[in-house]
Each structure stands twice: as C-alpha cells, then as structure tokens.
Amino acid sequence: MPALAAASHVMPTYRPFDVAFVRGEGAYVWDEAGRRYLDFNAGIAASALGHAHPAMVAALSEQAQKIWHTSNIFRIPGQVELADRLTAATFADLVFFTNSGAEAIECAIKTARKYFSARGEGNRQRVITFDGAFHGRTLGALAAGGNAAYLDGFGEPLSGFDQVAFGDHEALEAAIGPHTAAILVEPIQGEGGVRALPPQCLTGLRRLCSERGLLLIYDEVQCGMGRTGALFAHQRAEGAAPDIMAVAKGIGSGFPLGASLATSDAASGMVVGTHGSTLGGNPLAMAVGGAVLDVMLADGFLSSVVALGDALGARLERVVADYPDQLAEVRGAGLLRAVQCKHDNRVLLNACIDRGLLAAGGGDNVLRLVPPLIIDESHLAEAETLLRAALDDVAAGEGAG
Ligand code: PLP
C-alpha cells in the first residue's frame, strides 16, 4: 500500500499518497524513482488528452510567449473564438469562462436565480438537487451538493436548495413549488459513485422543466467534454438539452479552465456587473481550450471514445464476473466507468497503485476508471491485467493494510 505523504506546510485538507509524478506522456506518468504507471485516474477525469499532448504543448508554449493575462476589462479575442465554437457545438448561446468546476457551478446557480429576479420573480430562487451529487467545494456548490460531511463546521449553508433522492420521480415532482427556479443534476454522477441517469430520464427532466417553467441545469464538469463519447453526456439523449450547463475538467485537459454555458434567454439576467473573475478565460486558458476542442472535434475522435468505452465496459463486466467475492457491478458510460466493490474500495485502489495502475475512488464504494480519452485498445488490455493482478493481491491479503 502506498504510504501517505509526510506532514508539510501545505494545509492538510488532502491526505495524498506518498508518490509524486515528475513526467507524463500520453496515458503514462513516471514517479520520482522512474517507475511508470498507467494513468486511469487522469487527474480525476480532467486530463482528457493525457499528458504532454503535442497539440496542447504547442498551443500553451506559443501563447506563453505572446501574452498570458490581461483581465476581462479588456477584450479577449480567444474568448470570443472559444465561445463561438462551444455554442456552435451545443444548445448554448453564451459562455462565461471560469478557472474551475465549482466556479462554473456558482455561475450556473447565479444565472438561474438572476433569470427569475430580472423577470420580477425574485421569490423563485430555489434549486432542486439530488442526493449523491457533487458540485464542488465552494459554499454555494457545497449547499447544492448537500453532503453533510462536507458542510460540517462551515456555518449556515447557503439557503435555497431542496434535495431529493436520485432517480425518484415522485419525490422530484413533489419538491417543485412556487419558489422553485431550477433543477440541477449531473447526467452521470461522478464523485457520487458513477451513477448514470438513463437517457429517457434526461428527456423527461427536460419535459418537466419546460412544462413547469423551470430552468434545467446540468453539471457536466466530470461527465462532459467527450468522456462518454459525445461532446456532452446529455447529447446522447433525445431532446434533453438544458438551459444552463457547467463544464470544467476536460475542457482544459489539466489546465485550470471551466465554463458556464447558457441559452441567451436563461442568461438574460446576467448583464454588466452581475458576475466576474480576474483570471477566468485569460488568453493562456483560451489557447489551451481551443487546442483541446480542435482534438476532440476532429473526425473520428469521439467515435473512438464510444468504441473504447464499450470495450472497457465489456472488459470490466468480465472482471466483475471473475471476482464475484470482491466486485458487485460495472457502472457508467464511455470512459467514465467504475466497478462497485464489496469490500473497502480504498484497499483495491491501493493495490492498483501498487501494481502501477492509477485509478480513483468514489462514493458508493466504487473504484473509478477514468482514463485519458486518447488511449487505445492496448491500454485497456494493460489496465485489465493490472486490475486483475490487484484483485488477486487483495484476495491474497497483500493489498490490505
Ligand atoms: N462538479 C462535478 C460533477 C465534479 O465532479 C467536480 C469535481 O470533481 C466539480 C463540480 C468541482 O470541480 P472543481 O474541483 O474544478 O471545482
């Protein structure tokens, strides 16, 4: 089991494994001792194009030599260009660029609330969310996520959120009231245990919101940007477009970049002075975001993610069938996958790392496998071999402890 890092002057909000990576290439990273790992963690589903992708290195280096940062009080041509491309590829008309997923969620919530207040319905501020959700660690995002452990000790949570059980249609309908503004949902819950809403549920949510005059907000921070084989996960469902969507992680593929997308109607309250960010959408981030989109929208990229995702799913089904004492089921879609563990998922995660396979934990006792989207079949085969070896280690008691 990888040891935990020794204490330092870094605020101890994480308990990192005592392994530091000094180099990455494609789907592999190397630690300080020169040991190679297959990276099916990808910086928690963020490094969509893997490590040191040539197109990203070129875009970043080129922009780094021109200009990094100017602030949003000056025109940023890269923002106009990236917003054009993102809106052309989605339901949206307008984009606000952020540095992170939590900020994208904050902007999404503000956009929804402001929509109603700008229409003279300032009493419609409540947002319905789902149990198991994770929207980030800022105070608004924490209140939206409703995870008691994460809220503990931080005072009165931001008011205005009503949480219902994931997938409970009746509870959802019952929660809608005269003060409801929006429904906020991850099409596939990531941190909550890779729980996917079936496509027909997304279509149903869209219909419900339209019928009841509510805004539909998707959090596609983890499941978006190609990870399911569609540019955004909801695009796999018919007629399920949201009014507002938060994006991050893969859009910067390891660079701090997020975005909140909206229709012009939903964003009608977001006029001058209503929101801002010093660094959000700076020229460096825009260069990276543009390079990521070039790769993802190139012919064949997303269809290859579909094929790889199916292949990973099939491999994991076989693994689960072969290890019934340890694994319960396979979850997810595309390259956002998980196996649910019957014993402590951290034991299997440690055993994977020991074997040279990076993965991620998750709620509901899952082990998440979220590789970069640039992998090929050989990486899937290698991951399966390493996962089976880790499961054997756990069974033999070596991964425990
Ligand atoms: N929303 C979802 C679905 C996430 O998975 C995350 C992070 O894991 C966030 C929001 C928060 O993103 P960030 O950590 O970039 O603030």
**How many angstroms separate the alpha carbon of residue 177 from the centre of ligand 1?**
28
Pocket of ligand 1 (CB under 6 A): 44, 100-102, 105, 134-136, 186, 190-191, 219, 221-222, 248
Residue 6 confidence (pLDDT): 78
Q: Which atom of ligand 1 is nearest to the CA of 44?
A: 8
Q: How many CA atoms lie within 13 A of 182 on its CB side?
A: 28
Classify residue 217 by its DSSP letter.
E
**How many angstroms separate the alpha carbon of residue 324 from the centre of ligand 1?**
32
> Whose CA is closest to atom 13 on ligand 1?
101
Q: Which atom of ligand 1 is nearest to the CA of 186?
A: 3
Is 221 in contact with 248 (CB distance < 8 Å)? yes
**How many angstroms separate the alpha carbon of residue 251 from the centre of ligand 1?**
12
Those residues with Cβ within 8 angstroms of residue 361's Cβ, 6 or more apart along the chain or in another chain: 345, 346, 349, 367, 368
Is 266 in contact with 111 (CB distance < 8 Å)? yes
State the first-to-last Cα distance of the chain, in angstroms, to the nearest integer: 7
**How many angstroms separate the alpha carbon of residue 375 from the centre of ligand 1?**
23
Residue 4 confidence (pLDDT): 77
Residue 22 confidence (pLDDT): 98
Residue 230 confidence (pLDDT): 98
Measured CA to CA in angstroms, residue 48 lies from 115, 221, 259 at distances of 33, 12, 16
Query: Distance between alpha carbon 378 and the CA centroid of its chain, in Å?
Result: 25
Neighbouring C-beta atoms of residue 16, cutoff 10 Å: 12
Residue 3 confidence (pLDDT): 75
Residue that is written with structure tokens 């859009």 in the block: 251
C-alpha span between 107 and 97 (Å, rounded): 9
Residue 401 confidence (pLDDT): 47
- Which amino acids are annotated catalytic? 134, 219, 249
Q: Residue-wise pLDDT tens for the chain (401 aa)?
A: 577 777 899 999 999 999 999 999 999 999 999 999 999 999 999 999 999 999 999 999 999 999 999 999 999 999 999 999 999 999 999 999 999 999 999 999 999 999 999 999 999 999 999 999 999 999 999 999 999 999 999 999 999 999 999 989 999 999 999 999 999 999 999 999 999 999 999 999 999 999 999 999 999 999 999 999 999 999 999 999 999 999 999 999 999 999 999 999 999 999 999 999 999 999 999 999 999 999 999 999 999 999 999 999 999 999 999 999 999 999 999 999 999 999 999 999 999 999 999 999 999 999 999 999 999 999 999 999 999 999 999 999 964 44
> Whose CA is closest to atom 1 on ligand 1?
135
C-alpha span between 294 and 212 (Å, rounded): 38
Measured CA to CA in angstroms, residue 339 lies from 63, 82, 313, 323, 365 at distances of 40, 35, 10, 11, 9
Measured CA to CA in angstroms, residue 140 lies from 88, 176, 220, 222, 226 at distances of 29, 20, 17, 18, 27
Beta strands in 141-240 (DSSP E): 161-164, 180-185, 188-189, 195-196, 215-219
Residue 1 confidence (pLDDT): 58
> Whose CA is closest to atom 12 on ligand 1?
101
